[in-house]
Chains A and B, each alone.
Chain A
Amino acid sequence: MSTCVCEIAVSSTREHFTGTKELQREQELNRFLADVERRALRIAEISIRDRDEALDLVQEAMIKLVRNYADRSNDEWTPLFYRILQNGVRDWHRRRVVRSRVMVWFGRSTSDDADYDPVAAAPDPAGRTPDETLQTEQAMESLQLAVAGLPRRQREAFMLRTFEGLNVAGTAVAMGCSEGSVKTHYSRAVHSLRDTLGEHWQ
Chain B
Amino acid sequence: MNERNTKAARTDDQLLVTKAKELFDESVEGLDAETRSRLNRGRHEALAHLRPGARYGQWLQWNQRTLSAAGVAAVVAVLIWTGRPPVDGLTPPATASDFEILLAEDSFEMLQELEFYSWIDFEAELDDELDTNGNVG
Contacts and interface: CB of A to CB of B under 8 A. Distances in A.
Interface string B37-58: 0111011011101100000001
Contacts of B58: 67
Interface residues of A, number: 58
Contacts of A17: none
B39 A193 contact: no
B86 interface: yes
Give the bracket for the number of chain B residues in contact with chain A.
Answer: 35 or more
B127 interface: no
Nearest to A99: B110
Contact of B47 (A66, A105, A190): A66
Q: Taking chain A's interface residues, is the majority helix, strand, or loop, or is none over half, making it mixed?
A: helix
Contact of A124 (B23, B30, B46): B30
Interface in A56-110: 58-60, 62-63, 65-67, 70, 91, 94-95, 98-109
Given A91-B106, A136-B26, A202-B15, A101 B92 contact: yes
Contacts of B35: 41, 51, 55
A38 B101 contact: no
A103 B94 CA distance: 9
Interface of A: 22, 25-26, 29-30, 33-34, 37-39, 41-42, 51, 55, 58-60, 62-63, 65-67, 70, 91, 94-95, 98-109, 122-125, 136, 139-140, 143, 147, 162-163, 165, 190-191, 193-194, 197, 199, 201-202
18 contacts: A29-B50, A30-B47, A38-B31, A62-B43, A95-B101, A95-B102, A98-B102, A101-B93, A105-B84, A106-B114, A106-B121, A108-B117, A123-B27, A123-B29, A123-B30, A147-B20, A162-B21, A202-B16
Q: Which 7 A-B pairs have the closest CB atoms?
A: A123-B30, A62-B46, A59-B42, A125-B30, A105-B94, A104-B91, A63-B46
